[in-house]
Amino acid sequence: MFPFATCLAATGIGRHPRWVITVPAQVTADPTNVSAHSPDVIYIRLRDDSPTDDRCRRRSRMLSEGEVVLLESVAHHSKRLPNGRFLTMHKRRRKKLTTRSLSNENAPALLDDIHHGQVQCVLKHVWKWPFNAFALDTATGGRSLPVLCVHLFHWYGLMEHFKLDVVQVWKLFSLIEEGYHSTNPYHNAIHATDVTQAMHCFLQEDKIKNFLTPLEIMASLIAAVAHDLDHPGVNQPFLIATSNHLATLYENTSVLENHHWRSAIGCLLESHVAEKLSPIRQDLESQISSLILATDITRQPEFLKKFNNYLENDELDMKDPELRHFILQIALKCADISNPCRPWDVSRKWSLKVCDEFFRQGDYERQLGLPVTDICDRYNNTVPKIQTVFFKFMVLPLFNLWHKFLDTKLSHSMMENLRKNQQQWEELRERESSDEQQLIADADDMMLEQENEQDTPQQQNRRGSLPAVVLETVDKMGRRHSVPLNLARVTGHALPCTILRRESLQGALPSTLLVQVENRRRFTLGQIPYLEEEEEGLSISVGSSRSSGLQRSSDGCGGSHMDDRPVSAENLIPEPSIATITNTADASRLCNVIHGVTSPVLGHQATSGCSRGLTRQQTFPPIQPYVRARYLSTGGDTAAPCSSSSGGTSAVSTASSRTGSTSSEGCPSAGGGGGGGHGAGGNGTKRDSILDTDRAFKLARFSSNKEKENVDPAARTNAEIRRNSNHVNQILTRRRGSAPVGNGNGDNTGHPTPGKGQEATIPRRGSVPSDFSKQSALFKVVATGPLSTNSPKQGARRSSLPYDSNIGLSSSPLVSPSRPERRGSDGSRPGSRRRRRKSMKRRSSGGPDVLLSTGQSMDSFLAHRRGSLPVEILATSFSGPH
């Protein structure tokens, strides 16, 4: 038997490889029979003809036939194995993983191909809270997920208890790892590792551990590691807004979570671990699904309320399996948002990553002409703002209760970290806003000075003669002053605003001004610790001058660049994923299949026969050919749900052919979907090479969709006129449609729940499908909040209106008056004209800053809140402090 703890370190494979086992001198035991937990690690080095000593030769003769098959298999399939030099996560992930490359069924799989000392060292501390998933990921060469999970399965004795095959278990976690998108900044396998480790910590708590059954432990670990499986990097509202087939499939309810748990079951089946667990399989799947479904963050208020009731009535009897399960649900929810409770350096990194992902989504939305979700708008939001809101309204309420329940050293330490981290973000936020205010003030001074000097009649005339379209554009944009000042150098999106400023001033001034402001800003931001560190390709910051990969590729004016890029969801997502599928024909077919064999809610489907096919429905054929092969393999099953598919090449070809058909099916009536078959490759460059005809087709289709759904009916004619002449205007016009559906129903209660009959009368805005508002009452409540304070006219003009056009500036409690009154450069008090200008410039973005700057009540927040925050944030905000 090949020892589990074997470390394979190939240092290069020559033409005539020879197997050599090197054993530390002090090891006297039979090297082929070393325990997995033995500190004496055996290193097997695959070498070329370099000289070896006799002892090694003698050892090499001890290899059994099976071991030789294994090693030959590795030699055959691997050009170069990890050799101790750590690759970055992305590079490492793209490499063929040793375990997966073993195709010879007879060969014992290589179970532990990364067993370096560093890994051991990190795993040794895996029960401790100050865990750094990034460190484990580095140490394992990007394989933290299976390494951690296999370790935990051993540690909990699950392998022995359920008589599991270690090869299959390794395969299970490799499949899960592969199901995560390494291109997601946040929702990737490292997040899964992090959450699993947090869950492990919670399972160690006396109040929990003493009551758990092995089944519950296993369900908890699998649920934790698979809870975001195949996450597309965008949230549910995005999937709904883009009419993604998954949203249809799951009826806009816990869309992602449903997909995650079903994908997890798919991995259990594909790895054959499920077969080993047949007696308990139904129970296991049921627990996994219910645990993962609990991570739907929009359900947080429901869980908090229940948890609070249990705690207050002291009802949490852990001997009761139902209550135990509830605690496991809460534990997983806590684990999922536990990053704010990690030590600052780790926590901060997670914060940056999650915001990066939000901002990327905002970029997609912008490119698609969808309403930009507030929290995802890199021009209107900042990391500290997002963090302070998230900490306060999402993390604290949950962890307060969790701490109340546990009340242990662990919970104290988490709360302490949370408090400190929150303080850090608040300080950063304060610093950022005072810097920003100072900058704006200085910029205003400079502009006014220039204007005073040069405000001649000609100047006035120049301003007056600005082309109407520019003025209109700026007017529609409405939020120009909340755009970071350095935006002009980022993309073209803010250019209209900049153009106006330039137009209204003398030619030389704006560039001077912008340069000065930019320099100043850069300097100021340089002082902020979270911007100092080099993040791997991170492009988020307060008014970041860098943009996401997407934006990098669309340099220059975003509007005009739209000409060069196909405009459709599938072309905006960096990696093909479930979010790229918008083919409703396939969706309804899938829906039939799914609902034919599973219950719609928890989906505790019959776990026999069809479940394999059923699960495979959840991973769809990619629209584009550069999808990861693993997920291509599931495509063929769409048409044949009960057949078991084979992975590998044949699966790829099946999926590729399906891709083609999907593309052709994705005719205008399908409302999306196209894009397949445009060469191989996985990034924007490849995408840019799309055929012109296809691009034209897509643009046309997009335009027609937009006309149907995405444009304020009142603005449609104008949009049509401008579409061909000015894409910037086109984008802005679309942005106007960012109101949540139902915004204009005039319901002043703040709790509009339009019935089915009413729906037709509600002016449709935005691209949000009509069923969007149906599925989330919370969203509706918050989204329509502004109606309670705004006039009907404003109601029709959703909350992306600048704040100061909704309510009087002077009386606004939300406009921060903190900046001291400034004097002009001549020492005079600023005149009323100037004051007005400044106020207008310093509009609230309507984002979380509104919430945080005033300490206002939740009701007042909801009243003023615009509706574009993602549901998850709003849900908790709405639920208020518990």
Ligand X SMILES: Nc1ncnc2c1ncn2[C@@H]1O[C@@H]2COP(=O)(O)O[C@H]2[C@H]1O
Query: Which residues contact ligand X by CB under 6 A?
Result: 228, 295, 297, 336-337, 339-340, 350-351, 354, 386-387, 390, 872
Q: Is 367 annotated as a binding residue?
A: no
Is residue 387 marked as binding?
yes
Query: Which residue lies nearer to ligand X by CB, 578 or 732?
Result: 578
Q: Which of the listed partners (Zn ion, ligand X, none) does 435 bind, with a CB threshold of 5 to 8 Å by partner kind?
A: none
Cα angle for residues 669, 671, 676 (degrees, 5° grid): 105
Query: One-letter amino acid identity for 788?
Result: S
Query: Which residue in the set 137, 177, 194, 228 belongs to the binding site for Zn ion (CB under 5 A)?
Result: 228
Closest of 833, 545, 553 to residue 685, by C-alpha: 553
Q: Which residue is nearest to ligand X (CB)?
A: 390
Q: Would you say 236 or 773 has its CB closer to ligand X?
A: 236
Find out whether 561 is annotated in a ligand binding site: no
Question: What one-character-per-residue DSSP string does 402-413 give?
Answer: HHHHH-SHHHHH
Which lies closer to ligand X via its Cβ, residue 158 or residue 335? 335
Pair 180, 228: CB distance under 8 Å: yes
Quote the CA–CA distance of 182 and 174 in Å, as a whole number: 13
**From the CB of 53, what's the least distance to ligand X, in Å?**
52
304 burial type by CB count under 10 A (0-12 exposed, 13-18 middle, 19+ buried)? buried
191 labeled part of a ligand binding site: yes
Pair of tokens at residue 766: 């935005």
- For the bound state, the minimum distance from the C-beta of residue 776 to ligand X, rounded and expressed in Å, comes to 15
Q: Choose one: 227-235, 487-495, 723-731, 767-775; the region binding Zn ion (CB under 5 A).
A: 227-235
Q: Which of 686, 667, 571, 549 is nearest to 622 (CA)?
A: 571
Least spacing, CB of residue 496 vs Zn ion, in Å? 37
Residues in the chain: 882
- Active-site hit among 115, 151, 181, 187: 187
Buried b (16+ CB within 10 A) or exposed e, 365-374: bbbbbbbbbb
Is residue 478 within 8 Å of residue 375, measured between CB atoms? no
Tokens 């739209």 identify what position?
562
Kindly state the DSSP code that residue 382 receives in the 8-state scheme. -
- Total residues interacting with Zn ion, rule: CB under 5 A: 2
833 neighbors 746 (Cβ within 8 angstroms):
no
What sign results for the dihedral spanned by CA atoms 755, 757, 761, 763?
Answer: positive
User: Minimum distance between the CB of residue 5 and ligand X, rounded to whole angstroms?
Assistant: 33
Starting at the earlier edge strand, list the strands of the sheet with 7-10.
7-10, 43-47, 18-22
Strand partners, 22: 43
104: Cβ contacts below 8 Å, ≥ 6 apart: 69, 73
Q: What is the smallest separation between the CB atom of 228 and ligand X, expressed in angstroms? A: 5
| CB-nearer residue toward ligand X: 350 or 405 | 350
The annotation status of 190 as a binding-site residue, yes or no, is: yes
Nearer CB in complex with ligand X: 350/379: 350
**Residue 438 counted as an annotated binding residue:** no
User: Which residue carries 């401008």 as its tokens?
Assistant: 722
How far apart are the two ends of the chain, measured CA to CA in Å? Answer: 56
- Check whether 16 is labelled as a binding-site residue: no
Distances (CA, A) of 352 to 68, 235, 538, 703, 730: 46, 17, 8, 34, 31
DSSP codes joined into one string, 719-743: HHHHHTT-HHHHHHHHHHT-SPTTG
Answer whether 630's CB lies under 8 Å from 178's CB. Answer: yes
Closer by beta carbon to ligand X, 234 or else 741: 234
Name the binder of 386 from Zn ion, ligand X, none, CB < 5-8 A by kind.
Answer: ligand X
Nearest residue to 83 (alpha-carbon basis) of 23, 7, 31: 7
Residue closer to Zn ion by CB (options 234, 274) is 234
As beta bridge partners, residue 44 has: 8, 21
Distance CA 864, CA 786 (A): 5
Q: In whole angstroms, how close is the CB of 338 to ligand X at the nearest point? A: 9
- Candidates 39-47, 221-229, 406-414, 680-688; binding stretch for Zn ion (CB under 5 A): 221-229
- Residue 354 or 485: the one with the smaller Cβ distance to ligand X is 354
Region binding Zn ion by CB under 5 A among candidate stretches 112-120, 335-343, 622-630, 673-681: 335-343
Nearest to ligand X of 242, 729 (CB atom): 242
Six-digit token pair at 121? Answer: 């060292």
Q: How far is the CB of 238 from ligand X (least distance, A)?
A: 12
Kindly state the smallest distance separating residue 191's Cβ from Zn ion, in Å: 6
- Nearest approach in angstroms of CB 858 to ligand X is 19
* Among 540, 636, 635, CA closest to 580: 635
CB of 383 to Zn ion, least distance (A): 18
- Closer residue to ligand X in complex, CB, 325/353: 353
In this structure, what token pair is assigned to residue 636? 């063929």
Q: Which of residues 183-212 bind Zn ion (CB under 5 A)?
A: none
Query: Is position 296 an interface residue for Zn ion (rule: CB under 5 A)?
Result: no
Nearer to ligand X, 196 or 271 (CB): 196
Taking CB under 5 A as the criterion, which residues in 579-598 touch Zn ion?
Answer: none
Backbone angles phi, psi at 10, to 5 degrees: -90, 125
Catalytic: 678?
A: no
Structure tokens belonging to residue 725: 């002449």
Angstrom distance (rounded) from CA 190 to CA 182? 9
The dihedral sign for the CA sequence 49, 55, 57, 62 = negative
Beta strand 43-47 with 7-10: parallel, antiparallel or unpaired? parallel
- In angstroms, the CA 635 to CA 620 distance is 5
Q: In angstroms, what is the minimal distance from the CB of 328 to ligand X? A: 16
Residue 336 touching Zn ion (CB under 5 A): yes
Picked from ligand X, Zn ion, none, the partner binding residue 852 (CB below 5 to 8 A depending on kind) is none
CB under 5 to 8 A by kind: which of Zn ion, ligand X, none does 571 bind?
none
DSSP 33: S
Question: Which of the choices Zn ion, ligand X, none does residue 354 contact, using the CB cut-off of 5 to 8 A by kind?
Answer: ligand X
Binding of residue 357 to Zn ion (CB under 5 A):
no
Sign of CA dihedral 88, 90, 94, 99: positive
Q: What is the DSSP string of 153-172?
A: HHHTTHHHHTT--HHHHHHH
The stretch near Zn ion (CB under 5 A) out of 253-261, 328-336, 481-489, 784-792 is 328-336
Q: Point out the residues that are catalytic.
A: 187
Q: Which residues are annotated as a binding site for AMP?
A: 187-191, 228, 336, 387
Q: Which residues are annotated as a binding site for Zn(2+)?
A: 191, 227-228, 336
Q: Which residues bind Zn ion (CB under 5 A)?
A: 228, 336
Q: Which residues are annotated as a binding site?
A: 187-191, 227-228, 336, 387
